């Protein structure tokens, strides 16, 4: 079975891709050695939401950048597709190719070394397969922090975090994965190794290939190693759980706190009462730490000097008086602080148990968040349940739609596309994004074509054709494979 | 006169470029209207160091993005080269094409609007011709700051700042131009408009064309507008002028302060006594604010809560006791603070009056700064004078070499290349960069080929060929024009 890969122009004259057949796999094995290949497991072909089911001929497990280069150049020559595998935790199907010729799955699972931790430079050099939690531990061990924080940190790999420009709860202060990476090494489709493992804060020597690879979701090449930015550990963390009358008040609260604390605000997460309802319904047994029920909550974190604790208490008291919040509790110790964050981080698990009809990882300019929530809420069928929560400080909300209480989503799945369209149309009106942090993958290729800028798409296609002319890299991710309906 | 433009492959089959002749200029005028063209002035063809002398047929002054697109598509069709013009303050000749067919100079001087200032989103939307000082004023007017700070802010334009990924004195805390830009609009060589003026902190929808255009120095297209990040005004600035025994002590000082103040440190500038010698010799009349002479100085700035002032005084007292510094003065008011910075910012002007043989904008991992200074100082001919100063907190130094006191550089200019090679070879040993913030332009094309990664260069050439297949955009900047020796 063959199909035409993506290309920049008309597609004329582009080669067809081939399945990785037994003879190709045998040649790969000769090149890499016996232990470097393994059969595909169920876990390799699944993704967390179960929306796509992957396929693959074999998992290649190169142990060095040179071996990654060898795999890619062999695949490129034989026109065999390659799907890079990190921790497999992506939410948009970027890690699973469900149709077309059988690909080689290129896993970074053997390239997990933390090569260098340099607290005096605030840098760490890691191989792409290093698991995020191991990176956190190595940083802490050196008296530093690596701020990228995700629910999946126990299994996701830094190469995947970078390939998808992962976000998480610390973006407000420290930025996304892109902003936490100083240097990158990657291999292009034809095996060309693009070196760049410099531990430099400033380096203006040519085009920004690093940022081009970051966020390209494995469709331009394979990230093999990176230099990460470390940060001093904050002197103290001040964490509060707040009840707010409305998103508008939450926004006023954010502005008031920013005026006073500047970029010391490291977390500002919005939570709706539906989040607590779901936590109760699904048996997680996590209730609000505040006595009286409220409709909206904010999980606030401020990092910095110990002296900020008093300032925070005073600031919140003032805002309570103004009516911007109706209740507040400040964590008195690390256990309580962890409990607050545990609530926030368990909401996605509760959502999964309830079963969303349609989930949306959206962003708008932060001042538009209240208006967006109001518009979307008015537009949706009132019998459906919405769990809206997330990184309000970044203008990034997870806006997830569920069936009425007690009903299964199965009967509603035919409304899925229509609901997504409705939400994304509203997001577009506000100048927002249909994928703030999850990426495009295979799930949102249509959305990119519908909502993306035509000139940007044209530029992307030209870059894809220039760096991967045969279209072997993660076919169907980010950009449509021509010839596929 | 014609020559072969840069291209990705062998160059075979690429068209030759043509001068913008009278008939082409006449057609441009018909398309844009009479007021939109003007003759080239001396200022358009000069650059600050006088190393290159530009040429041009005419200056096109489009008033809109659509007109920029029209100019580029006409030039692309007629194979006429285009040199984008911002404020003309670049230091590596990126703004002046000195040979080959006569280009159209595309100036953004009529696209200077500040379209939107949104303190509630911490964003500003500007046209690419807006002067940096006007952007600062507009931000202040809205109670915000835009942190990009350069000596040339009165004349440089934001489009040029972004095209070169400008740095400056606030990178330590706020990052380079790239990190201060949320959205970008640009026009590719064939006139394709790449839209992206989103005011979003997070947007993971496809390849990072924004960062590809940023730092490409006009060789991939023309930046026409941008969304910039604004920041709350710091509650207070705490500025100190310190004498330090050595660069090693300066590094220990930096680490000690970072442990205590974290990223509240917004400036850490190293200054050598040669800087003060030059300020005296060239009539600027600026002396050290410290009583006793020293070999090395640090200009330190910490931004944040008013309460930090006491902490800083205490921290510096402790470091004085440890011998990490030999003297210190903390600015007691804004006048004194400005005076400290004025000293730092006048050093480049003094350098210009003395006349450098060779100037180097280099970076290394910050912990390597002392070793780099020692190595370079030992390797250079001892009769030459070195003024080493700059953004030590970022690992970025301006390492400039001058003739002996009283001598003119003219007799030394034949040593220029050899001296640069010597410095850059040492920088390369330390894993550093031969251009930390100034870019490649035309001055450092050879250096990029010598010191750059071969795979990265190959990727750059493919991207250039993909986005500017005729090679009309700023020929000879960043990448060599094939066929030119």
The answer to whether B80 and B97 have CB atoms below 8 angstroms apart is no
Contact residues on chain B for A465, CB-CB shorter than 8 A = 466
Task: Please report the number of interchain residue pairs, chain A to chain B, with beta-carbon separation below 8 angstroms.
Answer: 284
Provide the β-strand partners of residue A329: A241
Distance separating alpha carbons of residues A393 and A299, to the nearest angstrom: 11
Give the mutation candidate from B73, B123, B207 for the A interface (greatest A CB count, under 10 A): B207
Nearest Cβ partner for B448 among A171, A206, A478? A206
Distance separating alpha carbons of residues B421 and B429, to the nearest angstrom: 12
The answer to whether B150 and B35 have CB atoms below 8 angstroms apart is no
Among chain B residues, the shortest Cα distance to A188 is held by B459
Contact residues on chain B for A198, CB-CB shorter than 8 A = 431-433
pLDDT at residue A387 in the model: 98
H or E, element range at B340: helix B334-354
Contacting residues for B17 by C-beta, under 8 A, at least 6 apart: B2, B3, B5, B79, B80, B81, B100, B101, B470, B471, B472, B475
Distance separating alpha carbons of residues B83 and B473, to the nearest angstrom: 6
Give the mutation candidate from A115, A204, A250, A469 for the B interface (greatest B CB count, under 10 A): A204
Asked if B458's CB is within 8 angstroms of A202's CB, the reply is no
Provide the β-strand partners of residue B396: B363, B391
ipTM of the prediction: 0.95
Asked if A458's CB is within 8 angstroms of B192's CB, the reply is yes
pLDDT at residue A14 in the model: 62
Contact residues on chain A for B444, CB-CB shorter than 8 A = 205
Q: What is the 3-state secondary structure (H, E, C) of A303-335?
A: EECCCHHHHHHHHHHHHHHHCCCCEEEECCCHH
Nearest Cβ partner for A455 among B195, B207, B459? B195
Q: Token match 């890691």: residue?
A: A126
Nearest Cβ partner for A452 among B206, B262, B439? B206
Distance separating alpha carbons of residues A144 and A138, to the nearest angstrom: 9
Nearest Cβ partner for B365 among A123, A214, A264? A123
Asked if B208's CB is within 8 angstroms of A235's CB, the reply is no
pLDDT tier at A164 (50, 70, 90 boundaries)? very high
Which letter, b or e, does each residue of A309-325 get, where b requires 16 or more Cβ atoms within 10 Å of its Cβ?
eebbeebbeebeeeebb
Asked if A311's CB is within 8 angstroms of B204's CB, the reply is no
Contact residues on chain A for B248, CB-CB shorter than 8 A = none
Nearest Cβ partner for A215 among B196, B204, B437? B204
Contact residues on chain A for B198, CB-CB shorter than 8 A = 431-433
Among chain A residues, the shortest Cα distance to B362 is held by A203
Asked if A452's CB is within 8 angstroms of B198's CB, the reply is no
pLDDT at residue A370 in the model: 98
Asked if A212's CB is within 8 angstroms of B207's CB, the reply is yes
pLDDT digits (tens, 9 = 90+) for A58-78: 999 999 999 999 999 999 999
Provide the β-strand partners of residue A127: A225
Q: Is A337 helix (H, G, I), strand (E, B) or coil?
A: helix
pLDDT at residue B14 in the model: 62
Asked if B437's CB is within 8 angstroms of A202's CB, the reply is yes
pLDDT digits (tens, 9 = 90+) for B27-44: 999 999 989 999 999 999
Helix axes A65-78, A22-32, angle to 10 degrees: 160
DSSP code per residue over B402-438: EPSTT--GGGGGGGHHHHHHHHHHHHHHTT-BS-SSS
pLDDT at residue A396 in the model: 97
Which letter, b or e, does each residue of A22-43 get, where b requires 16 or more Cβ atoms within 10 Å of its Cβ?
eebbeebeeebeeebbeebeee
Can you read off the two tokens belonging to residue B276? 């003060």
Asked if A202's CB is within 8 angstroms of B395's CB, the reply is yes
Among chain A residues, the shortest Cα distance to B176 is held by A202
Give the mutation candidate from B119, B202, B258, B470 for the A interface (greatest A CB count, under 10 A): B202
Q: Is B31 helix (H, G, I), strand (E, B) or coil?
A: helix
Q: Is A75 helix (H, G, I), strand (E, B) or coil?
A: helix
Nearest Cβ partner for A198 among B204, B433, B448? B433
Query: Half-sphere exposure of B351 toward its Cβ, with a 13 Å CA cutoff?
Result: 28
What share of chain A has pLDDT > 70, as a percent?
96
pLDDT tier at A307 (50, 70, 90 boundaries)? confident
Helix axes B416-429, B369-379, angle to 10 degrees: 150
Asked if B202's CB is within 8 angstroms of A433's CB, the reply is yes
The answer to whether A97 and A475 have CB atoms below 8 angstroms apart is yes
Measure CA of the first residue to CA of the last residue in chain B; give whole Å: 16
The answer to whether A87 and A152 have CB atoms below 8 angstroms apart is yes
Q: How big, in percent rounded to 5, are the helix, strand and coil portions of chain A?
A: 40, 20, 40
Nearest Cβ partner for A433 among B192, B200, B307? B200
pLDDT digits (tens, 9 = 90+) for B259-294: 888 888 999 999 999 999 999 999 998 999 999 999
Asked if B455's CB is within 8 angstroms of A192's CB, the reply is yes
Distance separating alpha carbons of residues A149 and A165, to the nearest angstrom: 12
Nearest Cβ partner for A456 among B196, B366, B451? B196
Nearest Cβ partner for A365 among B121, B192, B439? B121
pLDDT at residue B259 in the model: 86
Residue A380 has pLDDT above 90, yes or no: yes
H or E, element range at A376: helix A369-379
The answer to whether A359 and A447 have CB atoms below 8 angstroms apart is no
pLDDT at residue B10 in the model: 40
Nearest Cβ partner for B201 among A363, A435, A448? A363
Across residues A224-234, what is the average pLDDT?
95
Across residues A409-416, what is the average pLDDT?
95
Contact residues on chain A for B463, CB-CB shorter than 8 A = 207, 212, 463, 466-467
Asked if A208's CB is within 8 angstroms of B208's CB, the reply is yes
- Nearest alpha-carbon partner for B468 in B289, B242, B154, B216: B216
pLDDT digits (tens, 9 = 90+) for B364-388: 999 999 999 999 999 999 999 999 9
Give the mutation candidate from A120, A201, A264 for the B interface (greatest B CB count, under 10 A): A201
Ranges in chain B, pLDDT < 50: 1-13, 484-485
Nearest Cβ partner for B439 among A204, A255, A466? A204
CA dihedral B299, B304, B307, B309 (to 10 degrees): 10
Contact residues on chain B for A366, CB-CB shorter than 8 A = 120-122, 201
> In whole angstroms, how far apart are CA B28 and each of A17, A92, B59?
46, 47, 11
- Nearest alpha-carbon partner for A313 in A239, A245, A233: A239
Across residues A187-200, what is the average pLDDT?
97
- Nearest alpha-carbon partner for A475 in A160, A42, A101: A101
Q: What is the 3-state secondary structure (H, E, C) of B265-307?
A: EEEEEEEEHHHHHHHHHCCCCCCCCCCCCCCEEEEEEEEECCC
Contact residues on chain A for B265, CB-CB shorter than 8 A = none
The answer to whether A253 and A240 have CB atoms below 8 angstroms apart is no
Asked if A200's CB is within 8 angstroms of B433's CB, the reply is yes
Asked if A167's CB is within 8 angstroms of B448's CB, the reply is no
Q: What's the DSSP call for residue B40?
A: P
Contact residues on chain A for B443, CB-CB shorter than 8 A = none
The answer to whether A440 and B206 have CB atoms below 8 angstroms apart is yes
How many other C-beta atoms lie within 10 A of the C-beta of residue A449?
A: 12
Across residues A147-152, what is the average pLDDT?
92
Asked if B431's CB is within 8 angstroms of A201's CB, the reply is no
Which letter, b or e, does each residue of B147-183 get, where b requires 16 or more Cβ atoms within 10 Å of its Cβ?
bbbbebbeebbbbbbbbbbbbbbbbbbbbbbbbbbbb
What share of chain A has pLDDT > 90, as a percent?
90
Asked if B204's CB is within 8 angstroms of A433's CB, the reply is yes
């Amino acid at each position: 079975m063959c199909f035409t890969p993506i290309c920049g122009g008309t597609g004329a004259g582009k080669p067809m891709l081939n399945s990785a057949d037994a003879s190709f796999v045998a040649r790969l094995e000769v090149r890499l050695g016996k232990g470097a290949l393994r059969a595909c497991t169920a876990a390799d072909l699944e993704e967390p939401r179960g929306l796509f089911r992957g396929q693959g001929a074999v998992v290649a497990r190169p142990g060095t950048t040179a071996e990654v280069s060898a795999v890619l150049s062999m695949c490129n020559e034989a026109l065999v597709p390659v799907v890079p595998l990190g921790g497999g935790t992506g939410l948009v199907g970027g890690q699973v190719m469900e149709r077309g010729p059988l690909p080689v799955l290129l896993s970074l699972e053997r390239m997990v070394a933390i090569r260098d931790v340099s607290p005096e430079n605030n840098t760490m050099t890691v191989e792409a397969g290093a698991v995020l939690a191991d990176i956190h531990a190595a940083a802490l061990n050196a008296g530093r922090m690596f701020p990228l924080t995700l629910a999946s940190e126990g299994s996701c790999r830094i190469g995947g975090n970078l390939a998808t420009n992962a976000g998480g709860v610390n973006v407000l202060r420290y930025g996304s994965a892109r902003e936490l990476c100083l240097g990158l090494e990657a291999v292009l489709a034809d095996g060309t190794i693009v070196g760049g493992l410099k531990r430099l804060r400033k380096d203006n020597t040519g085009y920004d290939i690093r940022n081009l690879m970051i966020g390209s979701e494995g469709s331009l090449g394979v990230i093999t190693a990176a230099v990460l930015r470390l940060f001093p550990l904050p002197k103290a963390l001040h964490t509060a759980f707040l009840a707010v009358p409305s998103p508008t008040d939450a926004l006023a609260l954010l502005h008031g706190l920013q005026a006073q604390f500047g970029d010391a605000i490291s977390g500002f997460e919005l939570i709706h009462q539906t989040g607590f309802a779901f936590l109760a319904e699904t048996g997680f047994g996590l209730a609000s730490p505040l006595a009286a029920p409220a409709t909206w909550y904010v999980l606030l974190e401020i990092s910095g000097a110990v002296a900020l604790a008093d300032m925070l208490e005073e600031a919140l008291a003032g805002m309570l008086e103004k009516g911007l919040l109706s209740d507040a509790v400040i964590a008195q110790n690390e256990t309580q602080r962890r409990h607050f964050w545990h609530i926030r981080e368990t909401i996605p698990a509760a959502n999964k148990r309830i079963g969303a009809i349609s989930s949306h990882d959206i962003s708008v300019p932060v001042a538009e968040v209240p208006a967006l929530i109001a518009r979307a809420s008015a537009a949706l069928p009132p019998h459906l349940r919405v769990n809206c929560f997330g990184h309000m400080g970044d203008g990034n909300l997870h806006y997830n739609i569920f069936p009425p209480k007690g009903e299964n989503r199965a009967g509603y799945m035919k409304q899925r596309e229509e609901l997504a369209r409705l939400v994304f149309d509203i997001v577009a009106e506000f100048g927002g994004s249909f994928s703030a942090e999850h990426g495009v993958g295979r799930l949102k290729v249509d959305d990119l074509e519908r909502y993306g800028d035509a000139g940007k798409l044209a530029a992307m296609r030209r870059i894809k054709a220039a760096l991967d002319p045969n279209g072997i890299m993660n076919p169907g991710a980010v950009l449509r494979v021509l010839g596929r309906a």
